């Protein structure tokens, strides 16, 4: 978006602008060129974090701990047995209290339009479309 002026008035193409409040407005114009580098960094970070979970003693030996929800979730086969899919993760969050039901708002029933009005509007729309088709160039239709 920065190439075309951005989507806010603080956008400066090719620069990072910081507002008085500390908000950073990034105006990179070469974002597609930056994406492969960033995606490779994120993938590498994920692999490093996975290896940290697999090698908790930092001695290079892999330990598969099925009590760890991440390791359990990525393990497909263990000792020749399929372990996929992993059991659902148990969440320790407290359930929210039931909210009070909102009082019902009575709405007035609208009177139905007469059928003649519907047909008149439909006929008007057809006439307008026909007129537009007659005056518009052939490339338009």
CA-based torsion, 9, 10, 11, 12: positive or negative: positive
Q: pLDDT tens digit string along 66-124?
A: 888 888 888 888 889 888 888 888 777 777 776 766 667 666 666 666 788 888 989 99
Residue 85: per-residue pLDDT? 86
Q: Which of 15-19, 56-60, 93-97 has the lowest mean pLDDT?
A: 93-97
Residue 74's closest CA among 47, 93, 39? 47
Domain extents for the chain? 1-39
The answer to whether the CB of 15 falls within 8 A of the CB of 21 is no
Instruction: Output the CA–CA distances (angstroms, integers) from residue 111 to 81, 88, 98, 123, in the order listed.
Output: 67, 52, 37, 22
Q: Quote the pTM value.
A: 0.42
DSSP string, the chain: -GGGT-SSTT--TTSEEE-TTS-EEE--S-HHHHHHHHHHHHHHHHHHHHHHHH-TTSSS-----TTSHHHHHH--EETTEE-PSPPPPPP-PPPPPPPPPPPPPP-PPPPPPPHHHHHHHHHHHHHHHHHHHHHS-TTT-
CB atoms near residue 29 (< 10 Å) = 14
């Amino acid at each position: 978006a920065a190439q075309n002026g951005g989507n806010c008035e603080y956008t400066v193409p090719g620069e990072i602008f910081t507002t008085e409040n500390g908000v950073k407005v990034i105006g990179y114009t070469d974002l597609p060129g930056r994406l492969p580098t960033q995606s490779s960094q994120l993938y590498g970070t994920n692999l490093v974090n996975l290896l940290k979970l697999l090698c908790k003693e930092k001695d290079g030996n892999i330990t598969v701990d099925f009590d760890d929800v991440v390791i359990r979730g990525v393990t497909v086969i263990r000792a020749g047995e399929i372990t996929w899919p992993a059991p659902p993760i148990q969440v320790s969050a407290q359930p929210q209290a039931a909210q009070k039901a909102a009082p019902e708002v009575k709405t007035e029933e609208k009177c139905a339009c007469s059928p003649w009005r519907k047909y008149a509007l439909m006929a008007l729309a057809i006439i307008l479309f026909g007129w537009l088709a007659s005056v518009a160039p052939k490339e338009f239709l």
